[in-house]
Structure 1
Amino acid sequence: MYYTYGMPNYGYNMPDRQNNQQQGTITVTGVGTVIVSPSIARISLVVSTINSSLEEAQTENAERMNQVLGVLQQIGIPREQIQTTSFSVRPIYNYQEGNQILQGYEVRNEITIVTDDMDGIGEMIDRVTENGVNEVLSIEFSVENPENFYLEALSFALADAKRKAESLTEQLGANLTPVPLKINEQTTSPGVGPAQVFKMVSTPIEPGNQSVEARLEAVYQV
């Protein structure tokens, strides 16, 4: 936070300099934060199979993935909320006495699930890991229409900037123009991210809260 004063403007037709009013500007930074509860979860799951035969590894992977998809449908996840995000097949080698020996193949299929059932995430993880999924890559939480929360935080940031400017000018014994001369919006991250708690009994998942922050720089005339 800083402030600067401009020099008086002396005109040629103003012989009495004592009647001039000194004007300047004060620049402050405002911060606004809105705390929101996540309403959307994106869950990345992996089915990975390894076999000395490429065909058998692919067949086993397909069977396990179909089993996972069937479980997801049973617990109410529609197919349009399930997306394949990665599929790969790679050979696995071992090295003996400097020689590269083929051991088999790994088939890896990654899917992403989008759900708004925050209370059912733990059960979903339990069911799919019991029926084919062998890796939970990530669980990411977000909110619908985050721009609405950002605009609310931006409003709070402007009010914060005005309070700071008023406090400074009061200490200086000056008058503050209520409307800023200029506002510069500062780029911020969309949020600090939610707290994620993982436990081993019934896999409870706690989405926690997210903070949406806005920052701006306001220039006022003093």
Structure 2
Amino acid sequence: MNTRITFMGWAIALVAVVALGVALVMPRASAAQNPTTDSRKRITVVGHGEIKITPDVAQVTIGVQSEGQDAATALADNNAKMQALIDAIKNAGIAETDIQTVGFSIYPTYNYDSPSPQITGYQVSNAVNVKVAIAGAGDLLDKVVAVGANNVANIAFEVSNPAQALAEARQAAMNDAKLRADQFAGASNATVGQVLVISELVSQAPVFPVMERAADMGAAGNAVPIQPGQQIQAIDIQVTFELN
């Protein structure tokens, strides 16, 4: 009987020791899962960078508008003039991939002087969008007008390869951020350390036109003068530096 009681006592004691051991180990494991928070001092600033760039490509809508007493006559005239226009564009060195039809319409014209409007004829319009190097844009416009183009509109300018300007704008924004951080740190008797975080504040940097005169990019002679001006490639970034 005493032997049995003694054995049960040892068993209870062993269970208690194991439970205590688990209780002692668990807090250590929990502490290992929560590393110490980074206590470094930081400063966060916004940097702005912008680069002026001169466009080298123009996009312009060029078309022909024709009239006739009936739709078939107006269409035939328009087709002939439009084909001559497209041939002239290609002969100027423009690739087919840079010529795209952007509008075509046929509609009647009316005489509204009588009590009941009367159809007096038909008007046909056809237009293409053309992408052309600015250096040859003025000469191209002269050539298409000579073969019958009578609708020229919506000229716009762009940069064929904006990657370099974007990279320069980002570098300028980083330099601006560093300058601002140095100024704030100096005012608080501290120094700026390494970069900890960089974030670009826009997914796509906007391009803004600059209203200032640029060199005439038209060809020599009587070519239409084209003034592309300049554009601004701008970027904003947020930078966090270590503060020493």
The question of a shared fold, defined as TM-score above 0.5 by the shorter chain, is answered with: yes
Q: Give the secondary-structure state (helix, strand or coil) at the position aligned to 1:58.
A: helix
State the alpha-carbon separation in 1 of the partners of residues 63 and 210 from structure 2: 23
1:197-220 per-position Cα deviation (integer Å, ceiling 9, x unaligned): 899x63111223322111112233
Aligned positions, number: 199
Structure 1 letter corresponding to 2:181: A
The answer to whether the Cα contact below 8 Å between 1:30 and 1:215 also exists between their aligned partners in 2 is yes
| Partner deviation per Cα, 1:112-161 (whole Å, 9 max, x = no partner) | 11223x32211111121122111211222212232342133112211211
**Partner deviation per Cα, 1:34-54 (whole Å, 9 max, x = no partner):** 222322221211211122311
Higher percent of residues as helix? 2
Q: Distance in 2 between matches of 1:76 and 1:183?
A: 43
Aligned-residue CA RMSD in angstroms? 2.8
Give the structure with higher Rg (CA): 2
List gaps (5 residues or longer) in structure 1: 1-21
Equivalent in 31, 42, 60 of residue 48 of structure 2: 31
Aligned in 2, Cα 1:28/1:92: closer, same or farther, shift over 3 Å?
farther
For 1:207, what is the secondary structure of its paired residue?
coil
| Contact preservation (8 Å) 1:182, 1:220 | no
Task: Output the TM-score relative to the length of structure 1.
Answer: 0.76
- Of all paired residues, the percent bearing the same amino acid is 27
Give the 3 Å change call, closer, same or farther, for CA 194–106 of structure 1 in structure 2.
farther
Note the C-alpha offset of 1:24: 5.4
Query: Does 2:160 correspond to 1:144?
Result: yes
Give the SS at the match of 1:99.
Answer: coil
Are the equivalent residues in 1 in contact too, given 2:141–2:223 (CA < 8 A)? no
Which whole-Å CA distance do the structure 1 matches of 2:200 and 2:169 have between them?
A: 15
The match for 1:220 is 241
Shift of residue 194, structure 1, vs aligned partner: 6.1
> What is the TM-score when the length of structure 2 is the normalising length?
0.70
Question: By how many angstroms is 1:94 displaced?
Answer: 4.2
- Residue in 2 aligned with 1:6? none
Tell me, which stretches of 5 or more residues in structure 2 are unaligned? Answer: 1-38
* Alignment correspondent of 2:3: none
In the TM superposition, 1:42-57 aligns within 5 A as 42-57=59-74
1:191 aligned to 2:213? no
For 1:11, the equivalent position in structure 2 comes to: none
Report the secondary structure of 2:207's partner residue.
Answer: coil
Given candidates 158, 166, 181, the residue that maps to 1:165 is 181
Partner amino acid, structure 1, of 2:230: N
Alpha-carbon shift at residue 106 of structure 1 (Å): 1.9
Following superposition, the deviation at residue 166 of structure 1 comes to 0.8
1: CA distance, partners of 2:197 / 2:236? 17
Q: Is the 1:187–1:215 contact (alpha carbons within 8 Å) kept by the matching residues of 2?
A: no
Q: Which runs of 4+ in 1 moved over 6 A?
A: 196-199
Contact 1:157 1:215 survives alignment (8 Å): yes
